[in-house]
A = this chain, B = another copy of it.
Amino acid sequence: MPQPPPPLASPLWRSLRAYQIFGANTEVGKTVFSTLLCKAAAARTTGRGVAFLKPVSTGPDSEADDRWTTQADMYAPLRLPVVLVGDSRLGGISQTISAFESLRMRGYDVESVVLFKEDKYQNFDYLSEYFAEHHDVPVAGVIEPPERKSSLEDDVRAMAKYYEEQSQAKNTGDVISHLDKRHEQRIASLDSMASQALEKIWYPFTQHSLLTPKDINVIDSAHGDYFQTLAPSSSSSSSQNDSLLRASFDGSASWWTQGLGHANPRLTLAAAYAAGRYGHVMFASGIHRPALELSSTLLKGMNSPRLDRVFFSDNGSTGIEVALKMGLGAAKLRYGWAKEEKLGIVGLKGSYHGDTIGAMDCSEPSGYNEKVEWYDGKGHWFDYPTVLCIGGKWRVNVPEELRQALGEDADFGSLSEIFNVQGREQKGHHIRYEAFIRESLERLVKQGRRFGSVIIEPVVLGAGGMALVDPLFQRALVNVVRKSPDLFRKPGAAVEETSSDPNAWTGLPIIFDEVFTGLYRLGRFTSSSFLNTYADISVHAKLLTGGLVPLCTTLASENIFQSFSSQDKTDALLHGHSYTAHPVGCQVALESLNDLQKMDQDGSWDWAKSQGWKSSEASLTSGQSSTNVWSTWPRDLVEDLSRQTDRVSGIWALGSVLAIHIKDASGSTGYFSNAAQDLRDTLIAGDSEGANGSWNVHCRVLGNVLYLMAGQKTTEESIAQISSELRKGLQA
């Protein structure tokens, strides 16, 4: 479908009113009603302009006139209020209702239905009642124009008289008054939303005392990668001619969920279909098509010999709690720990797995959890080498405390070379990593520590500060744990029998938290593939539904599953939410995954891969594709910005994520640093020079890190525009 070039501000002015006229059918009188409403409006609204836009049409019989659904798609980002011209003829009732539904599901506000009033079918009577009862939309009836006269002159005169009379008729006037009222309401609502929000809403992750109405992003609608937000009224460049709205690039991909574009019509229809076919149906001991198909698609997409089962929950945090119950339960059973011998997890420093207490307990103590009453971190968290582009070089950075064990920082020719974990293993790079991990675990176990699972976010630690971890280190951690059941069994216990199942877990169950990193956020279906290994339990959410509704799946191996199987009900995994596997979420997820997989296969991201991410084949091991490690963000951009070493401590890009680590003059780092705020403020202030009205880049910081996250359908053009803003912002 053709789209106007972003970023395009939706037109909404205080005085001028603009409406879009759609006809429920062809030849229902769009031209007559447009003329009539213009005339009536001109007479009633002195000093203010009113525009009624009829879909493009080149003649009464043109094909263009035939395709209002296409135009409804094309103009959807602008979301002009709609006047729907109903059909007064035979069949017109259903045509009008159906057209209304099609507009509504594209996010339009149909403010008024107008149609000719005639006696034979009385569609007006039926529709007035129908729209009043079901949709609270007024329907206005206007008498039909006179029959065509034999002479042109007579015809013109008759029509002039008709327009004169009808534009002054009460019904017509009521339409204009209603549109006026709704226009005022819409603007009043936009004007007051920020202050009302600060009175009624308790925001997530927000210190309210630091928030003022101007910090609130008032979102009128969203389409593709762009919000339409209320533009700051105090802007020096604002004038009478500027729209109240501006296009804002959704630079946090709507809190990391967005992939297929806001208001994606396929996802909308998928949601509506599942709602219309099922609503929600209880899932315990039940099954429905969307849940089963989604399970198959996920298991097949993961392509892992270790993942056989799908457990549904509502978000990443609950999915992690499920994973913990699975992993810790399996370990407890196999190693025969007593009830009071509590097990901890093995993880990485700075990991973040969610906000419920169980998920929080997987992270080490930090500013995120220190004031949460019931937080009680349970585990050991390894420090690790990270990957950053610094001064134009791709570097594995080893924390100072680990250099003695792991060696010095090392530069590589490209990100692909760092991610070539098999190649690096052939060179023995993993040996020091494995030794360090094994020794650390031995020491902990000697201190009496007990572990029940490993939990890591493959490659990228998200909320913990957008750290790109050396994949070889994570791989080494998994490999050491799997080779070391001796470290995890109960002291003195007999060595457990070897399972005949080649995919049974060994050492500890390995949990991969792919909530943020999976499903193409980093360019691949599963981020576990960067480690060239498989998890025993894997958690997926966020992009799972393409960015529409909450849904989470926790995948597990048959071996883990069997740990919960017995004749005793209390051995079951006693977890479940009421909306488990809700059909709307499953259907949307199925549609999303199919679309993402199709894009992966049909070369939709070739433009991005060719932005400098293809490495020389020579540096890769056989079988590894050179286009496997790539980003939506151009390599040039990353390397150039990384040379701003006075402000930037390092940058990385992978998949649709770009993370800029800003130097903090105060020396503080992490979530509670304010270092990245200047850059954020510059981007949010925006570019008032946009060819299509003002626009800006809405983005978030995580302490000293400013990140930008694109969707999986973001265009090369958008990326180029935003890259240019970034360059300006960092050079300023």
Contact = CB atoms under 8 A, between A and B. Distances in A.
Interface string A522-557: 000000000000000000011000011110001010
Contact of A276 (B66, B104, B258): B104
User: Which among A98, A376, A542, A580 has the greatest number of chain B C-beta atoms within 10 A?
Assistant: A98
B373 A27 contact: no
Q: This chain: how many copies in the complex? A: 2
Those 7 A-B pairs whose CB atoms lie nearest each other, nearest first: A204-B576, A26-B91, A107-B277, A357-B358, A107-B276, A262-B279, A328-B373
A99 interface: yes
A204 B357 contact: no
A642 interface: no
B26 A90 contact: yes
A322 to B, nearest CB: 8
Interface in A274-290: 274-289
Contacts of A17: none
Contacts of A310: 200-202
Nearest to A354: B577
Interface in A65-106: 65-70, 76, 79, 89-95, 97-99, 101-102, 104-106
B282 A272 contact: no
Given A193-B292, A254-B578, A318-B356, 17 more contacts: A66-B121, A67-B93, A69-B98, A98-B98, A200-B296, A202-B573, A221-B277, A222-B278, A222-B281, A250-B281, A257-B280, A263-B276, A314-B314, A324-B373, A325-B372, A355-B575, A549-B579
A378 B374 contact: yes
Contacts of A7: none
A601 interface: no
A579 B671 CA distance: 21
A177 interface: no
20 contacts: A25-B25, A66-B92, A107-B273, A193-B292, A204-B283, A204-B312, A207-B568, A217-B286, A217-B287, A254-B279, A254-B281, A262-B278, A263-B276, A263-B277, A358-B374, A367-B570, A371-B574, A549-B582, A550-B579, A569-B671
A94 B107 contact: no
Interface string A299-342: 10000000011111011111001001100110010000001001
A518 interface: no
A503 to B, nearest CB: 15
A578 B206 contact: no
